[in-house]
Amino acid sequence: MAANRETPYKGSNHGDFKEIESSRPAWEEATTAPFQIIQTPDTAWTLGSGANKTHNPNGHKHISIDPWAPGRHPMNNYKLCISAVVPRPIAFVSTRSKDGKVTNLAPFSFFNMVHADPPLFVLGLTTPLDTPNDTLQNLEETGECVITIVTEGTVEAANAAGINNPYGVSEWDASGLKPIYDCKTVSCARPEEAVFSMEGKVESIREFNSKVFPGKKSGSLVVVEATHFWAREDAINEDRNLIDIKVFALFLF
């Protein structure tokens, strides 16, 4: 029997998070290896050589998966894709309402760079324009934001900023990060604790139709053009064109 796609998704019961977390290695223990640039697995690889020596299929076949097969809940597509498309950078997105009274800070794992001239970035939101969340509403009204790359030092703050506050209640307070209002091209704030931030203007917003609920909008894609950069002085080189990855301490999802 086909599953009712309108019923809530019942995922795995992962139990108490703090109990699970306590069984994992401490942060210091898991991050003792210094960052270094290494060789590729096969330095003797030549054109036409195919997969390198690390490829070991062991005779396993590929499984065909229909995203919309009867009985398959759409949440399974989400879970599959986020486990396969890795690693992904996480970004803070800072926005401000048109009247300047409402500020918002939200983490995005659906984020990446897609072009360099001009520098363009994409933000994926699971809300449509007719029922926007705080970030989307502010982006639509003002057309501007600040995008900050999440680092090891701001991981917990990013998690806290993901809470679902009512519109008008700022996530800056929950994150504990300090907003700095000194941007050159936008009116919203950048986090003082950031290693690298980008002021940005909305280039376009596109909505997408749901395949689960025909006729309904399921989300939006926002393309943002970076209009100004901010880099911490100990992380940027003299030519202002390279971030020191060791200082950056990037956190990937």
In a domain, 54, yes or no: no
Q: Which residues of 111-142 are buried (b: 16+ CB within 10 A; e: fewer)?
A: beeeeeeeebbbbebebbeeebbbbbbbbbeb
In a domain, 50, yes or no: no
Q: Please name the residue that has the structure tokens 């139709």.
A: 209
In a domain, 160, yes or no: yes
Q: How many domains does the chain have?
A: 1
Q: Pull the structure tokens for residue 143.
A: 């057309």
In a domain, 53, yes or no: no
In a domain, 9, yes or no: no
Q: Please name the residue that has the structure tokens 């064109």.
A: 241
pLDDT tens, per residue, the chain with 253 residues: 334 444 555 555 556 777 887 887 777 755 666 677 788 888 899 999 999 888 888 888 999 999 999 999 988 999 999 999 988 999 999 999 999 999 999 999 999 999 999 999 999 998 766 777 889 999 999 999 999 999 989 999 999 998 887 777 789 999 999 999 999 999 999 999 999 999 999 999 999 998 888 888 889 999 999 999 999 999 999 999 999 988 888 777 6
In a domain, 124, yes or no: yes
Looking at residue 61, its amino acid is: K
User: CATH number of the domain that 199 lies in?
Assistant: 2.30.110.10
**Which residues touch 12 (CB under 8 Å, ≥6 apart)?**
none
In a domain, 149, yes or no: yes
In a domain, 104, yes or no: yes
Domain that holds residue 195: 89-253
